[in-house]
């Protein structure tokens, strides 16, 4: 008959094995097959090739319309990506120039304000994810 300590040890060992198996599954295997991260990249690339319907279109358009929409997206996609890259470069340049105007103390204050805002957003997301009964008790 097993005691509680034996069961606890067995549960801990099983949990460790599951953790190791999960880590191994997410890591690159010896043959160089895709990791979970590259699998996500591959799905994203496939989606770009195939296209993605705009919101609410999936249940409304026919298969023929769907294929035409994908073709239009492929036509405009490269130019849109190019413009987005230009916009990011301009935004980064602008932000660097603005940052250069600030004193080290101001940069520190802004970093603290950003950190506080991030924490507030995180707390709001966590609160929104709670069931209503838990929300009512915490008021």
Mean model confidence pLDDT for the chain: 81
Q: Which residue has the higher pLDDT, 14 or 97?
A: 97
Domain boundaries, the chain: 39-101, 104-139
Q: What are the two backbone dihedrals, phi and then psi, of residue 27, each rounded to the nearest 5 degrees?
A: -85, 165
pLDDT average, residue stretch 107-136: 90
pLDDT value for 42: 75
pLDDT band at 79 (very low <50, low <70, confident <90, very high): very high
**Predicted TM-score of the model (pTM):** 0.51
Q: Is the pLDDT of residue 96 over 80?
A: yes
pLDDT value for 134: 63
Q: Decide if 127 contacts 136 (C-beta within 8 A).
A: no
pLDDT value for 115: 97
Positive or negative torsion for Cα 100, 106, 112, 116:
negative
pLDDT value for 91: 98
Q: Which residue has the higher pLDDT, 88 or 54?
A: 88
Distances (CA, A) of 74 to 40, 48, 90, 119: 20, 8, 25, 39
pLDDT, tens only, 51-70: 789 889 989 999 999 999 99
Residues above pLDDT 90, as percent of the chain: 52
Q: Is the pLDDT of residue 33 over 60?
A: no
């Amino acid at each position: 008959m097993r005691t509680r300590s034996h069961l606890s040890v067995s549960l801990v060992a099983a949990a460790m094995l599951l953790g190791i198996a999960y880590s191994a599954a997410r890591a690159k295997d010896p043959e160089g097959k895709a990791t979970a991260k590259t699998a996500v990249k591959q799905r994203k690339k496939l989606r770009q090739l195939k296209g993605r319907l705009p919101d609410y279109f999936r249940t409304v358009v026919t298969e023929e319309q769907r294929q035409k929409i994908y073709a239009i997206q492929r036509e405009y996609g490269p130019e849109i990506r190019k413009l987005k890259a230009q916009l990011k470069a301009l935004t980064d340049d602008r932000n660097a120039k603005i940052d250069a105007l600030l004193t080290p103390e101001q940069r520190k204050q802004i970093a603290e304000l950003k950190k506080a805002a991030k924490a507030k957003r995180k707390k709001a997301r966590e609160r929104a994810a709670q069931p209503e009964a838990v929300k009512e008790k915490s008021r």
